[in-house]
């Protein structure tokens, strides 16, 4: 129904917009010569940012929705380290320097700045950092997914009672621990999130013991109600706390109206303001919820919305060409670390043979997919590494679209049409099995569904009967994690930092509902994934990852499809905009508006 | 009559019990797991140190425990005790295990009696507060649009009936049916694109209920701002119901004006206006009034499509999002409230029958 509706909307609007567009003068009022201006002298104005749904909360540990992250991360809450927008490396932010790592790679010591203040004026100290880690480690807080990441960070303590020097102890060697600790822990003010200081009476060992007890099935939830860590969690998880965030960042939370907007105001005495020319310049950020891209784009054209990120390609390429649009707005596209793929269930009797998987890849017309579904704006993917990373294997050419080769591979694997019904078959475990299967994907993602349809068409030509089946997201997720699929079409958003294939491709993750849903099991790949985690030398990790990509290319557990672009549109009055190769693609702290053309005032 | 009302009210409780049990079962047994969605697994690769085989499994289990989802669903659990060697009959094969009161349904019901619908899985906000926040918005929209629909459709229906088979009758019939057949999601999007200030006319806001500068407006300004934002959604809410209402009215009216007493009224020499508006209208309103009573549950349930297209924080979008994210406490609260309102609506409708039409009585005949 939705698809039909989008078509009708398009055909109507295209029809009409070609008929009566262009009545506006095409001169833009927003092109101002900024060469002689200093951003610092032009503070003010608001940025109205589009959000597709209301956030589920602004607590960095208990809110899991992605929407909230863009609101609070770096705007309200900060961490000891930050990813540099240009070099993509992690650099000190609240920390004074990179952490000191012990010889056994198990201990990390961070020194933090003494001039950092929360927005209420309280100084930020190591106690707040330790409290933040404890909040994650407390088994009763709603931070379960994060707790998983911090499983191996077992302890944090002040070094000799120095409030600005913190030592973290890890139980396992892992090259990403500096990032997990440094950039992952959003620092919360302890005096606000734990006003009665409950958590200081718990050591990290106590929390570990509590977790063990909690995991034990002999204990039920009720037995923990008298525990003060439980009572702390009740407060910490509460709606009120996640709706009133306080941090050290350049913006201060002002207001939240459900399903409508979240308002942040500029912090007047942000600790880092004095250091640079171009930081924290607009007076207000409004995150405005509009649940439909068509409406949001109309809002942008009406100059009521200033920024839409992640605009669907069909809108980006078809609906942003009017003179009125281009008079007031700019469009930008950028690659971000992601790839889409077709996952073959490696335990499926048909797809357990790598020749069959490779034949499938030979039947995948990536050029057509990029052309039709991505408007030419996507890059073929060959493996699990983002193509802008140094670890990316430039020597691998994606398996080309070649039905003849596919046929040969299938014949080689024993598939032929013995009963003359037009569908290939093969005797597997004594049963004559026809080559027919189903692609599954989630409802509402038209691109994925169409990828499936394009595949079905090519497969039909070589005698493979396939079908596309869509299901609701939560049901789909259930099926994927239970390995209940033949082939699935999905995507990963990956990190822009050093790749670690363990979670997705290690054989241990194929059980217990881990992320290796396709059950890829390869001895050498397992070994590489394990060694890679403990390797601190970036050059050596690069070698390992190159080999890993070769294995993936050879084995084809997935048919890697494309790395796509993200599209954003914004109002022209903003200056100082840089686009970065990861989501969301911009840094609002840097945006400013020349005083003469500012739109909103306080 | 009083007897009847008491009996009907008493009947509400077992009905409600059955409804809640069924909706509880449907919501819990539907595939999809809220704990899994909460864990966010499958959405990003992120910084994972997943090293144990069962890490994800364990994590999801803990979330389930926190939400009481590890407890049995109902007072009894059936165990299919099937044994090929000793085939038993269907009934003796089914074994029951008594779970006592420590089950999800009991906990939920016990809390509902205290008017506590629990906390939303999504953001830990008490469900009652969530609903309280949204009911006024949905109610305002549906009240205004129902009022408008009746104000326009009833005169239209009367007019068509009185002037049956004229050009006007045909035009209005065709027009309302065209409206009726246009899907509201399409009309909604079209209205936004053409009148929301995009490439065409900047007459109305594109979405939402408040302008960017809402808080700096005066009280009067806030009010007009709100009305201005409501015009497009109300239009979409209303236009579709013209056809149904005006046709109901037309049919009712046509039936009445052929009655003998109308002919008598005309023969008496009454003016046409008095005949139609005094004698015919009252009687032909009966079906319309009963529809009105059924509207009660619809009043607060809102419309998913309209609320999503216009980003209006109402009950419809709340229910829809709760269902897609398997937010059981919210789903159950919405189900229960609409069940109660439907039951009240039906009761009211039945009572109204006897009020407007003296021929219908519910009391036992006096002997």
Q: What does the DSSP assignment read for B257-290? A: HTSHHHHHHHHTT--HHHIIIIIIHHHHTHHHHH
In chain B, % of residues over pLDDT 90: 18
Average pLDDT, integer, range A192-217: 91
| Tally of CA atoms within 13 A in the half-sphere of A386 that contains its CB | 21
Task: Write down the pLDDT at residue A21.
Answer: 40
- Partner residue opposite A179 with nearest CB, options B47, B50, B321: B47
pLDDT of residue B92: 60
User: Rounded to the nearest 5 degrees, what angle is found at the Cα of A259, between the Cα atoms of A253 and A263?
Assistant: 20
Q: Residue A444's closest CA among A248, A245, A293, A263?
A: A293
Tell me what the pLDDT averaged over chain A comes to. Answer: 89
Does A146 touch chain B if contact means CB atoms closer than 8 Å?
A: no
User: Can you give the pTM of this predicted structure?
Assistant: 0.87
At B190-214, the pLDDT tens digits run 999 999 888 888 899 998 899 888 8
- Cα torsion for B109, B111, B113, B119, to the nearest 10°? -110
Closest CA to B222 of B230, B233, B211: B211
Q: Do B199 and A17 touch (CB under 8 A)?
A: yes
Residues 6+ apart with CB under 8 A from A67: A51, A52, A53, A54, A55, A56
Lowest pLDDT segment from A35-44, A244-253, A420-429: A35-44
B79 pLDDT more than 80: no
Token pair, residue A350, equals 């048909």
State the pLDDT confidence band at A23, using cuts at 50, 70 and 90: very low
Whether the CB of A93 is below 8 Å from some CB of chain B: the reply is no
Structure tokens at B8: 């009907």
Q: Over 50: is that where the pLDDT of B47 sits? A: no
Q: Looking at residues A290-313, what average pLDDT do you find?
A: 93
Does an H or E element contain A528, and which? helix A523-534
SS3 A403: helix
How large is the ipTM?
Answer: 0.83
- A534 or A25, which is more confident? A534
Helix (H, G, I), strand (E, B), or coil: what is residue A465? strand
Determine whether the interchain pair B197/A172 forms a contact, defined as Cβ–Cβ distance below 8 Å.
no
Q: Which residue of A has its CA nearest to B327?
A: A474
State whether A290 and B206 contact (CB < 8 Å): yes
Options 3.40.47.10, 3.40.190.10, 1.10.3720.10, 3.90.550.10; CATH of B127-356: 1.10.3720.10
pLDDT at A14: 47
Contact, A568 vs A310, CB < 8 A? yes
Q: Which two tokens stand for residue A510?
A: 């194929």
Cα(A181)–Cα(A136) distance, integer angstroms: 12
Q: How far apart are CA A156 and CA A131, in angstroms?
A: 9
Tell me if A93 sits within 8 A of A82, measured CB to CB. yes
Residue A232 banded pLDDT, cuts 50, 70, 90? very high
Mark yes or no for CB contact B39/A475 under 8 Å: no
Could you tell me whether strands A100-101 and B94-98 are parallel, antiparallel, or unpaired per DSSP bridges? unpaired
Residues of chain B in contact with residue A503, where contact means CB-CB under 8 angstroms, are 45, 48, 50
Measured in angstroms, the CA of A177 and the nearest CA of chain B are apart by 9
- Give residues with Cβ within 8 angstroms of A300, minimum separation 6: A50, A306, A308, A329, A569, A571
User: Which of 4-43 (A) contact B at CB < 8 A?
Assistant: 5, 8-9, 12-13, 16-17, 20-21
Which residues face A329 on adjacent strands?
Answer: A571
A-B interface: how many C-beta pairs under 8 angstroms? 243
Q: Which residues contact A591 (CB under 8 A, 6 or more apart)?
A: A47, A281, A282, A574, A575, A576, A577
- Chain B interface, mutation test: which of A294, A308, A384, A485, most B Cβ atoms within 10 Å? A294
DSSP for residue A289: E
How far apart, in whole angstroms, are the C-alpha atoms of residue B207 and residue B192?
8
Q: How far apart are CA B200 and CA B181, in angstroms?
A: 25
Cβ contact A214–B65 (<8 Å): yes
Residue in A with minimal Cα distance to B183: A5
Q: Mean pLDDT of all residues in chain B?
A: 82
| pLDDT band for position B332 (cuts 50, 70, 90) | very high
Measuring CA to CA, which residue among B362, B367, B357 is closest to residue B9? B362
Q: State how far the Cα of A520 lies from the Cα of A529, in Å rounded to an integer.
A: 13
Identify the burial level of A578 via C-beta atoms within 10 angstroms of its C-beta, where 0-12 means exposed, 13-18 middle and 19 or more buried: exposed
Contacts of A564 (CB under 8 A, 6+ apart): A335, A338, A340, A374, A377, A378
Rounded distance between C-alpha atoms, residue B64 and residue B72, angstroms: 12
d(CA A250, CA A281): 9
pLDDT higher than 90, residue B243:
no
Give the pLDDT mean for A72-87.
90
For B296-330, give the DSSP string. HHHHHH--HHHHHHTT--SHHHHHHHHHHTT-HHH
Which among A261, A281, A280, A260 has a CA at the least distance from the CA of A272?
Answer: A280
Per-residue pLDDT band at A19 (split at 50, 70, 90): very low
A224 touches B: beta carbon within 8 Å: no
Q: What is the pLDDT of residue B367?
A: 39
Give residue A16's pLDDT.
47
User: Has residue B53 got a pLDDT over 60?
Assistant: no
- Report residue B244 as tokens: 């149904």
**Interface contact B37-A474, CB threshold 8 A:** yes
**Residue contact A477–B324, C-beta within 8 A:** no
What's the mean pLDDT in A86-108? 93
State the average pLDDT over residues A398-412.
Answer: 94
DSSP string over A86-135: TT--EEESSBSSSPEE-TTS-EEEEEB-SS-B-TTSPBP-HHHHHHHHHH
A 494-523 residues with CB below 8 A of B? 494-495, 500, 502-504, 508-509, 511-515
Q: Are B276 and B322 in contact (CB under 8 A)?
A: no
Q: How far is B18 from chain A (nearest CA, A)?
A: 27
Task: Give how far Cα B58 sits from Cα of A51, A212, A255, A580, B33, Å.
Answer: 33, 11, 37, 37, 14
Q: What is the CA radius of gyration of chain B?
A: 27
What count of other Cβ atoms lies within 10 Å of the Cβ of residue B292? 17
d(CA B105, CA B11): 21
CA distances, B337 to each of B11, B16, B139 (Å): 17, 10, 14
pLDDT surpasses 70 at B69: yes
Q: How does residue A602 score in pLDDT terms, banded at 50, 70 and 90?
A: low
Q: How many Cα atoms within 13 Å fall on the side-chain side of residue A195? A: 3
d(CA A346, CA B351): 65
- Cα A194 from Cα A199, distance rounded (Å): 7
The pLDDT of residue A367: 93
Contact B208 A474 (CB under 8 A): no
Whether residue A584 has a cis bond before it, omega within 30° of 0? yes
How is residue A83 written in tokens? Answer: 């990813």
pLDDT, tens digit, for every residue of A325-373? Answer: 999 999 999 999 889 999 999 999 999 999 999 999 999 999 999 999 9
Q: What is the pLDDT of residues B85-136, one digit of tens each?
A: 665 666 665 667 777 788 889 889 888 888 889 899 888 899 999 999 999 9
Contact A68, A287 (CB under 8 A): no
pLDDT at B75 exceeding the cut of 80: yes
Tell how strand A251-257 and strand A261-266 pair up. antiparallel
Q: Which of B47, B125, B127 is most worth mutating to test chain A (most A CB atoms within 10 A of its CB)?
A: B47
pLDDT on residue B34: 84
Coil, helix or strand at residue A320: coil
pLDDT band of B51, cuts 50, 70, 90 = very low
**Three-class secondary structure of residue A46 per DSSP:** strand
CA distance A388 to A5: 37
C-alpha dihedral sign at B269, B273, B275, B279: negative
CA distance A243 to A404: 59
The percent of chain A in helix, strand and coil, each rounded to the nearest 5, is 35, 20, 45
Asked if A382 contacts A366 with a C-beta cutoff of 8 angstroms, the reply is no
b/e code A376-412 from CB counts within 10 Å (16+ = b) = ebbbbbbbbbbbebebbbeeeebbebeeebbbebbee
Average pLDDT of the residues in A301-315 = 92
More confident residue, B46 or A399: A399
């Amino acid at each position: 129904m939705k698809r039909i509706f989008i078509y009708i909307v398009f055909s109507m609007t295209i029809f009409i917009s070609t008929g009566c567009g262009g009545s506006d003068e095409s001169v833009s009022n927003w092109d101002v010569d900024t060469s002689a201006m200093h951003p610092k002298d032009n503070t003010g104005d608001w940025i109205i940012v589009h959000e597709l749904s209301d956030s589920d909360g602004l607590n960095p540990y208990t809110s899991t929705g992605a929407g909230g992250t863009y609101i609070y991360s770096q705007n309200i809450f900060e961490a000891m380290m930050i990813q540099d927008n240009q070099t993509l490396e992690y650099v000190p932010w609240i920390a004074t320097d990179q952490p000191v790592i012990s010889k056994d790679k198990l201990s990390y010591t961070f020194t933090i700045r003494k001039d950092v203040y929360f927005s209420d004026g309280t100084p930020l100290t190591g106690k707040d950092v330790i409290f933040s880690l404890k909040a994650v480690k407390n088994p009763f807080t709603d931070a379960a997914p994060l707790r998983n990441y911090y499983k191996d960070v077992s302890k944090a303590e002040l070094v000799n009672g120095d409030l600005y020097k913190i030592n973290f102890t890890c139980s396992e060697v892992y090259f990403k621990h500096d990032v997990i600790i440094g950039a992952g822990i959003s620092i919360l003010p302890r005096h606000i999130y734990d006003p009665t200081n409950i958590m200081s009476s718990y050591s990290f060992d106590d929390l570990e013991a509590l977790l063990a007890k909690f995991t034990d099935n002999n204990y039920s939830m009720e037995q923990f109600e008298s525990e003060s860590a439980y009572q702390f969690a009740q407060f910490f998880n509460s709606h009120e706390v996640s709706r009133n965030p306080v941090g050290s960042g350049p913006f201060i939370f002002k207001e939240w109206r459900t399903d409508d907007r979240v308002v942040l105001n500029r912090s007047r005495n942000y600790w880092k303001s004095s250091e640079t020319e171009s930081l924290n310049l607009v007076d207000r950020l409004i995150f405005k919820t509009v649940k439909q891209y068509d409406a949001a784009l109309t809002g942008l054209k009406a100059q009521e919305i200033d920024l839409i990120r992640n605009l669907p390609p069909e809108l980006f390429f078809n609906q942003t060409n009017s003179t009125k649009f281009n008079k007031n707005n700019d469009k930008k596209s950028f690659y971000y670390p992601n790839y889409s793929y077709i996952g073959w269930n490696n335990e499926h009797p048909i797809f357990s043979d790598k020749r069959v998987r490779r034949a499938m890849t030979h039947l995948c017309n990536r050029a057509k997919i990029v052309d039709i579904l991505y408007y030419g704006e996507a890059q073929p993917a060959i493996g699990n590494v983002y193509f802008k990373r140094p670890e990316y294997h430039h020597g691998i050419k994606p398996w080309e679209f070649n039905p003849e080769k596919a046929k040969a591979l299938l014949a080689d694997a024993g598939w032929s049409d013995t009963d003359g019904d037009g569908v290939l078959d093969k005797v597997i475990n004594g049963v004559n099995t026809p080559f027919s299967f189903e692609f599954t994907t989630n409802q509402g993602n038209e691109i994925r569904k169409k990828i499936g349809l394009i595949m079905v068409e090519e497969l039909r030509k070589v005698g493979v009967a396939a079908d596309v089946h869509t299901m609701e997201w939560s049901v789909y997720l259930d099926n994927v994690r239970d390995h209940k699929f033949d082939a699935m079409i999905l995507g990963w958003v990956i990190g822009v930092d050093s790749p670690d294939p363990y979670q997705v491709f290690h054989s241990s993750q194929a059980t217990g509902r881990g992320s290796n849903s396709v059950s890829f099991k390869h001895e050498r790949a397992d070994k590489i994934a394990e060694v890679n985690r403990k390797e601190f030398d970036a050059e050596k990790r690069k070698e390992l990852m190159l080999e890993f990509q070769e294995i993936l290319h050879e084995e084809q557990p997935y048919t890697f499809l494309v790395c796509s672009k993200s599209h954003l549109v914004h109002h022209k009055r903003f200056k100082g905009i840089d686009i970065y190769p990861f989501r969301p693609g911009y840094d609002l702290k840097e945006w400013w508006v020349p005083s003469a053309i500012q739109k909103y005032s306080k | 009559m009083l007897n009847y009302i008491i009996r009907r009210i008493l009947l509400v409780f077992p009905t409600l019990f059955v409804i809640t049990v069924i909706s509880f079962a449907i919501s819990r047994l539907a595939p999809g797991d809220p704990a899994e969605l909460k864990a966010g697994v499958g959405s990003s690769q992120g910084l994972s140190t997943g090293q144990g085989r069962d890490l994800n499994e364990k994590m999801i289990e803990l979330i389930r425990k926190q939400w009481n989802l590890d407890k049995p669903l109902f007072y009894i659990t059936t165990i299919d005790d099937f044994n090929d060697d000793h085939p038993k009959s269907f009934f003796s094969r089914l074994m029951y295990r008594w779970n006592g009161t420590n089950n999800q349904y009991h906990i939920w019901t016990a809390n509902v009696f205290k008017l506590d619908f629990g906390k939303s899985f999504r953001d830990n906000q008490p469900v009652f507060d969530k609903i309280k926040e949204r009911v006024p918005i949905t109610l305002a929209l549906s009240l205004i649009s129902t009022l408008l629909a009746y104000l326009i459709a009833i005169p239209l229906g009367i007019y068509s009936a009185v002037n049956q088979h004229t050009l006007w009758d045909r035009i209005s019939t065709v027009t309302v049916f065209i409206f009726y057949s246009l899907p509201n999601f399409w009309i909604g999007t079209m209205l936004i694109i053409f009148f929301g200030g995009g490439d065409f006319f900047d007459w109305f806001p594109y979405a939402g209920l408040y302008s960017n500068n809402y808080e700096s407006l005066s009280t009067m300004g806030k009010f007009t701002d709100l009305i201005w934002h409501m015009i497009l959604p109300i239009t979409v809410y209303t236009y579709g119901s013209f056809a149904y209402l005006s046709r109901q009215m037309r049919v009712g009216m046509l039936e009445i004006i052929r009655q003998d007493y109308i002919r008598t009224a005309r023969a008496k020499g009454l003016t046409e206006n008095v005949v139609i508006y005094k004698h015919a209208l009252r009687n032909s309103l009966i079906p319309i009034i009963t529809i009105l009573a059924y509207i009660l549950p619809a009043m607060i349930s809102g419309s998913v499509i309209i609320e999503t297209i216009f980003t209006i924080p109402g009950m419809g979008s709340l229910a829809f999002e709760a269902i897609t994210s398997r937010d059981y406490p919210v789903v159950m609260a919405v189900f229960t409230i609409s069940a109660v309102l439907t039951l009240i609506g039906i009761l009211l409708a039945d009572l109204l029958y006897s009020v407007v039409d003296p021929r219908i009585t519910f009391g036992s005949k006096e002997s």
